[in-house]
Structure 1
C-alpha cells in the first residue's frame, strides 16, 4: 500500500512545502523516504537555499563554479554549512612539496557579513595560489580594496558595543577549491571575541576556527560612535601557529586542503568555538612565557660565564704583570 505522502502531487510538495524548508530540514526530510529523497535533491531547491543563505554565491562566477561540483549546490551546503573540526599535524606542512604537484591554481573566498541575520555585505574574491609571492609570503586575504569602506545602516545602539557586536554581527567565510571540488567554512559564525585597537580605537571583531596547532582568523574592523552608523574598514583572513607567526601560503594550502578532505563537519556551536579559541590563546601565552623564561635563563648563564671569564682574565693579566 502506498504511503499517504505519495498521494500528494510532487509539484505541490516541492512548491508549497519543500521550498519553505531550510537546508538542515530539507536534508532531514530527504532521509525519511525514497520518494521524498528524490524530490529533496532537486537542483532548484538547493540553489534557492544556497543563494539565500550566502548571497555571495549568487555571483555568476560562483554559479558557474558550483555547477562543476558532483551534487552542485547541495555539495556546497554539505561542506560549508556545518562547522569544521580538524586537527592539523606536521604532515600537513611537511607534505607541501608533494602538494605542489597537485596544488590548486586558485581559491575562491565567498564572504557574507550579517547583522541580526540580515546580509549587509557580500563578496566573492578569487585568489591566485600558484605564484611565488603567494606560496612564500604569509597568507593574508583582504576582501576590501585599499581605502574601501563599507557604509552600513547599522547604528551603534548602546554603549556596550562589544557585547552588542558579539550578539548581532555574524560572518561566513567559505573557501572553495575548484580543482578538488570541495569547500569549507572557516568562520565561527559569531565572534569569538571583540576588542578595541590600542592605537586607533577601532573595533576588531574576530571570528576564529582552531585546527590543532593552527588557528584560522577572520578579522572585521569597524568604526563609528554610539548613536551613529557603523562602517566596516577591513575584512581579512589569516592563519597563525602557536608562536603567533603567520603561516605562509604553501603551508596554509596544505592545511586547508586537509581540512576540506579530512575534516569532520559538526553542528555550529559558538560556545565550543569560544572555548577552543580561549584554550588556543592560553596555550600560545604559555609557550610565549616559557620561551621568555628560557631566554632569561640563557641570558643569566651567558652573563655568569662572561663574569667568570672576565675575572679569570683579570687575574691572569695581574699575575703576569
Structure 2
C-alpha cells in the first residue's frame, strides 16, 4: 500500500498545506484592518495592490479602498489630479481603480471585433486626454485637454490632438547638448510618456502610448529634437502616434514646444476624426491589456518595438504597391490618350479624303 507523504498527510482539518493556508489567513484576518490599510497597503504600487486583492476576499475588500487607488493614480499620473479628470473618474464604476485597470497596462487591440455584438455607441461629446512626460523617472510635464468630438471640422478633418498652443513652450529640467547623437541617445533612455484617453460616456480609458520612444531624431527643417511614441492597433490596421518636439535655442535650457497625437492608416494616410473616435472606443471596449516592463528592456518592450517595425514595413510595402499601381494607371492613361489622339487624326484624315473624293466625283459629273 502506498504511503502518503507526511506533508500531505490528512488531518482533522485537511492536509498540512490546507492548515498552513488557514493559519496565514487567520493571521491576516486577526490584524486590524486599519493597520493593514495604513502600514502595509499604502506601501504597495498599483500592480502589487491588484495582485494582493486577488489572494482573499478579506484583502479584496481592503484593497478596494478608493483613497488607496486615488493616491496611486496621482503618483502614477499627476495629470489625473486635475479637477476635470477627477470629476470624470468619480463617475466610473470603481473610481480610480477602474482608471488604473484600464490605463496602466499596455493596450493590445489586435483581435477583430465580434461581428455579432451590439452596434457601437454614438460618439461621445468629448474625449479627455491626460498626458504626463517623465524625465529620469520624475514627472516634468502634465496636461489635461478636452477635445470636442461633435463639431463638423473635427469629424471631417485628420485626427489630431494638440496639448499646447502654437506659440506655447514649457520649460523643462533637460539640459541642451551640442553633440546631438549623445543627446538623442540620452533622451531615448530617459524619456517616458503616458497619454491616457478617457471616454466620459463609456466610462472607459486607454493608454495610447508606447511609454518609451520608438525613435528620437532631429527635424530636418527646424533642427529641433523630436521623440515619437506609438502603439499599433492591428485589428483596425492603424497606428497611434504621439510626437513631442523639444527646442534648445534659449541658452542651455530645453523647452517642450509641441505635444500632439495623430492616427495613421496602413497606407501612411491620416485617419479622419470621426473614424478615429470609433477606433478608440472599440479599443477601450475590446482591447486586451498587458503589463509592459518599460525600464530594463524585457519582452514587453521587444513586443512593442516588433509591432511598430512590422507596421512600418507594412506601410512601406503598401506605399510601394500604391506607387506601382499609380504608375501603371499613368501609363495606361497615357496610352489611352495616345490611342484617342490617333483615332482623332484618323477620323480627320478620313473625313478630308472623303470630302476630296466627293469634290472629284462632282467635278467629273459636271
Q: Same fold (TM over 0.5)?
A: yes
Structure 1 residues 193-233: Cα deviation after superposition (integer angstroms, max 9, x where no partner) = 12221111112111101112111111101112799222110
Determine the structure 2 residue equivalent to 1:192.
214
Partner of 2:290: 266
Give the total of aligned pairs.
316
Cα deviation, residue 121, structure 1: 0.6
List per-residue Cα deviations over 1:46-98 (Å, max 9, x = no partner): 11000010000011221111111110000000000000111386999xx9xx6
For the pair shown, which has the larger CA radius of gyration, 1 or 2?
Answer: 2
Q: Is it true that 1:257 corresponds to 2:281 in the alignment?
A: yes
Alpha-carbon distance in 2 for matches of 1:108, 1:129: 10
* 1:183 to partner: Cα distance: 0.5
Q: Distance in 2 between matches of 1:151 and 1:187?
A: 22
1:178 maps to 200
1:152 aligned onto 2:172: yes
Superposed CA offset, 1:263-304 (max 9, x none): 110122222212211111111111111111122222223333
2:123 equivalent among 103, 106, 112: 103
RMSD after superposition: 2.4
CA shift at 1:22, angstroms?
Answer: 0.5
Name the counterpart of 1:138.
158
- Identify the residue that residue 136 of structure 2 maps to in structure 1: 116
The question of whether the paired residues in 2 share the 8 Å contact of 1:139 and 1:248 is answered with yes
Unmatched runs of 5 consecutive residues or more in structure 2: 1-21, 293-299, 354-366
Cα pair 2:45 2:72 within 8 Å, conserved: yes
For the Cα contact (< 8 Å) 1:43–1:73, is it kept in 2? yes
1:9 maps to 32
TM-score of the pair, normalised by structure 2: 0.80
TM-score, normalised by the number of residues in structure 1? 0.91
Task: Report the counterpart of residue 68 of structure 1 in structure 2.
Answer: 91
* Stretch deviating more after TM superposition (101-110 or 207-216): 101-110
Output the CA distance in 2 between the equivalents of 1:125 and 1:47: 20
Q: Distance in 2 between matches of 1:9 and 1:122?
A: 38
Residues 155, 274 of structure 2: 8 Å contact kept: yes
Q: Structure 1: give runs of 5+ residues left out of the alignment.
A: none
CA contact (8 A) 2:268 2:319 kept: no
Match 2:226 to one of 189, 204, 214 = 204
Question: Does structure 2 conserve the Cα–Cα contact (< 8 Å) formed by 1:141 and 1:237?
Answer: yes
The answer to whether structure 1 residue 301 and structure 2 residue 293 are counterparts is no
Instruction: Note closer, same or farther for the CA distance 1:151–1:36 as it changes in structure 2 (3 Å cut).
Output: same
Greater mean alpha carbon deviation, residues 163-172 or residues 101-110: 101-110
| In structure 1, distance between residues paired with 2:61 and 2:112 | 40
